[in-house]
């Protein structure tokens, strides 16, 4: 299903923002008035467009810090007064939304645990009817692009045109280098489907560790993200939530200074070498299709043989051999086992589907 979102370009949102990346920054949680104001003053000097702080914190387990609640909204008002920064907080239900609007919070975000729940998103959208303030929607915790789009559509239908998406990664079970796996192909597909949609990357919640923020931010910039949401705290190790991933204002400055913002390669800047290389890529893509077509034809012939000789479709030994020899060959050619295994699993799945169809056609 494709829909169109009715979106207002970010330069008409009333934010103090000129050049990519759009920066949304501040502590994971508002803890004390002093901590909030100290962070905001430090960030004011750093080209940040929106100051963030969580007031209501969705925490996985009870008996952890769940946010200071509504009193933190007054601290955010003070940030506005003292620094002129726009302020932003997370809302997870209509009560939060009304409270935030009452305190003139400029920008809202919907957290990953809320995006998964269409009832909660609809309740927030209803509370926002007629109030066209900027709203960012984080990806749902599970890697489901349609659910993410659904939440964006609900808000858009309620009249929110200053709409953005935040890519904060996806939950998975077991150990990983990341707190939330980035699955970059999901925000890339979102961008392909909605080219006008503002997409921000949140390296803090993807990485879960401060050491990963620089490389994730750089990757996001190179993948054409519009901005970054980064958690900054005056004393990260003592933070009441997400201590490992927060960075000091000085470390944030370093991240920004090291960030290389490359050109988008607009038509007029696109020089002939790039065009030539892209032609070669198109040629090889074409070759790949031809080879895939030929391979699939053979797999179908094998399907016919299995049908005629009453042999089951899946031959585990053979499949193990194919994947092993392909990974070994890929390795020699500098292609990662991860790539080879993904490609071959997809091809094998398609062959199996086709062969199952061929075998069963004979039965009926």
Under the rule (CB under 5 A), what is the footprint of Mn ion? 28, 242
Q: Give the one entry of ligand PEP, Mn ion, none that residue 123 binds, where binding means its C-beta sits below a cut-off of 5 to 8 angstroms depending on kind.
A: none
Query: Nearer to Mn ion by C-beta: 164 or 203?
Result: 203
Enumerate binding residues for ligand PEP (CB under 6 A): 28, 54, 58, 111-113, 138, 168, 205
CB 169 within 8 A of CB 181: yes
Query: Nearer to ligand PEP by C-beta: 217 or 351?
Result: 217
Task: Read off the tokens for 25.
Answer: 């920054």
- Locate all alpha helices (DSSP H) within 69-212, ordered by sequence: 71-83, 94-102, 112-115, 118-127, 145-157, 185-193, 203-207
Query: Nearer to Mn ion by C-beta: 14 or 208?
Result: 208
Instruction: List the one residue out of 236, 170, 156, 165 whose CA is nearest residue 198.
Output: 165
Helix (H, G, I), strand (E, B) or coil at 168: coil
Q: Which residue is nearest to Mn ion (CB)?
A: 28
Q: Give the one entry of Mn ion, ligand PEP, none that residue 138 binds, where binding means its C-beta sits below a cut-off of 5 to 8 angstroms depending on kind.
A: ligand PEP
Side-chain half-sphere exposure of 272, counting CA atoms within 13 A: 0
- Cα separation, 25 vs 40, whole angstroms: 9
Q: Give the one entry of ligand PEP, Mn ion, none that residue 80 binds, where binding means its C-beta sits below a cut-off of 5 to 8 angstroms depending on kind.
A: none
Query: Nearer to ligand PEP by C-beta: 103 or 168?
Result: 168
Query: Nearer to ligand PEP by C-beta: 246 or 355?
Result: 246
- Locate all alpha helices (DSSP H) within the chain, ordered by sequence: 33-44, 71-83, 94-102, 112-115, 118-127, 145-157, 185-193, 203-207, 213-222, 249-258, 272-308, 316-332, 337-363
- List the beta strands (DSSP E) in 178-282: 198-201, 227-231
Q: Give the one entry of ligand PEP, Mn ion, none that residue 112 binds, where binding means its C-beta sits below a cut-off of 5 to 8 angstroms depending on kind.
A: ligand PEP
Q: Which residue is nearest to ligand PEP (CB)?
A: 111
Side-chain half-sphere exposure of 328, counting CA atoms within 13 A: 6
Instruction: List the one residue out of 2, 6, 7, 3 whose CA is nearest residue 226.
Output: 7
Query: Nearer to Mn ion by C-beta: 106 or 242?
Result: 242
Q: Give the one entry of ligand PEP, Mn ion, none that residue 135 binds, where binding means its C-beta sits below a cut-off of 5 to 8 angstroms depending on kind.
A: none
Min dist. Cβ of residue 325 to Mn ion (A): 45
Query: Nearer to Mn ion by C-beta: 65 or 184?
Result: 65
Min dist. Cβ of residue 260 to ligand PEP (A): 25
Min dist. Cβ of residue 42 to ligand PEP (A): 19
Min dist. Cβ of residue 58 to Mn ion (A): 10
Q: Give the one entry of ligand PEP, Mn ion, none that residue 107 binds, where binding means its C-beta sits below a cut-off of 5 to 8 angstroms depending on kind.
A: none
Phi and psi dihedrals of 333, rounded to 5? Answer: -95, 10
Min dist. Cβ of residue 151 to ligand PEP (A): 12
CB 170 within 8 A of CB 180: yes
Orientation angle between helical segments 337-363 and 316-332, nearest 10 degrees: 150
Q: Give the one entry of Mn ion, ligand PEP, none that residue 233 binds, where binding means its C-beta sits below a cut-off of 5 to 8 angstroms depending on kind.
A: none
Min dist. Cβ of residue 91 to ligand PEP (A): 11
């Amino acid at each position: 299903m494709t829909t169109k979102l009715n979106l207002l370009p970010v330069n008409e949102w009333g934010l103090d923002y000129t050049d990519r990346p759009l920066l949304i920054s501040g502590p994971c949680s508002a803890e004390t008035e002093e901590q909030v104001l100290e962070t905001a003053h430090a960030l004011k000097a750093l080209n940040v467009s929106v100051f963030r702080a969580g007031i209501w914190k969705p925490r996985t387990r009870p008996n952890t810090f769940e946010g200071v609640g509504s009193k933190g909204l007054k601290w955010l008002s003070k940030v506005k007064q003292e620094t002129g920064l726009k302020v932003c907080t997370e809302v997870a239900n209509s009560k939060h939304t009304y409270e935030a609007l009452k305190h003139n919070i400029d920008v809202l975000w919907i957290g990953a645990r809320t995006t998964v729940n269409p009832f909660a998103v609809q309740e927030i959208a209803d509370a926002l009817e007629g109030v066209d303030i900027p709203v960012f929607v984080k990806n749902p915790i599970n890697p489901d692009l349609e659910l993410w789009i659904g939440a964006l559509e609900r808000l858009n239908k309620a009249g929110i045109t200053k709409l953005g998406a935040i890519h904060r990664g996806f939950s998975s079970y077991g150990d990983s280098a990341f707190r939330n796996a980035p699955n970059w192909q999901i925000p890339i597909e979102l961008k392909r489907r909605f080219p006008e949609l503002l997409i921000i990357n949140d390296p803090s919640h993807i990485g879960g560790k401060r050491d990963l923020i620089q490389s994730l931010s750089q990757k996001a910039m190179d993948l054409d993200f519009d901005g970054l949401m980064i958690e900054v705290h005056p004393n990260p190790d003592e933070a009441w939530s997400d201590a490992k991933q927060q960075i000091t204002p000085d470390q944030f400055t370093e991240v920004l200074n090291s960030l290389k913002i490359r050109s988008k390669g607009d038509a007029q800047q696109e020089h002939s070498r790039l065009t030539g290389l892209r032609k070669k890529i198109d040629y090889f893509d074409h070759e790949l299709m031809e080879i895939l077509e030929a391979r699939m034809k053979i797999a179908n012939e094998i399907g016919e043989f299995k049908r005629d000789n009453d042999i089951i479709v899946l031959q585990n030994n053979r499949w193990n051999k194919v994947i092993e020899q392909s990974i070994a060959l890929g390795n020699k050619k500098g292609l990662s086992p991860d790539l080879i295994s993904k490609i071959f699993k997809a091809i094998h799945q398609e062959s199996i589907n086709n062969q199952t169809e061929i075998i069963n056609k004979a039965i009926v």
